[in-house]
Structure 1
Amino acid sequence: MYMARVIGSVVSTQKDPSLVGKKLMIVRPIDSDQKAIRFEQVASDTVNAGIGDNVLVTRGAGARRADGDSQRDAADVNDCTIVGIIDRFDK
């Protein structure tokens, strides 16, 4: 799991069936000083995050299970999911 900031959204009318009905957001990983690191990615949103929110993101198998749908299978193409909204950073 890592921290990221939501910087935009993606609209895709043609997509894999496993992504139908999912809100897709553009996220950029950040460090604990809230500085951008690495590159932008697209993540499905399970927590109704908005542009400008700092969020927790998971990837891989955890991302595929994050929406709580027990019917998911290996054909699910989701590899990046927003699983939490960060309220604050305590250092």
Structure 2
Amino acid sequence: MTGRQSELPGLAPNQCKEDEDFDWKGPDVIIQTQPGTAIYRNVHQAVVIRQEAMNGDDDQFVFFATADDVRTLITALQREIGDA
């Protein structure tokens, strides 16, 4: 690590922890494990959001058939994160 870490606002320099002592449920972990997510067009030109299967289940799919459907999704997502 460089000295720049201590310059980041809100981040205190981390106490050196041995690998076996690191707490993956602790406050230093900012993003928990999540399945991979892909976005692509299928053979029918629908926009597909596909999420990687967990625990041997099947992948999950969400399809949006028109550009207006995708715009509606984007607007709803922006509303949820406070950007609309």
Category of TM-score, reference length = shorter chain = under 0.3
Comparing both chains, which one has the higher relative contact order based on Cα–Cα distances under 8 Å and sequence gaps of 6 or more?
A: 1
With normalisation by structure 1, the TM-score equals 0.25
With normalisation by structure 2, the TM-score equals 0.26
Which structure shows the higher strand fraction?
1
Which structure shows the higher helix fraction?
2
Whichever of the two has the greater Rg, that structure is 2
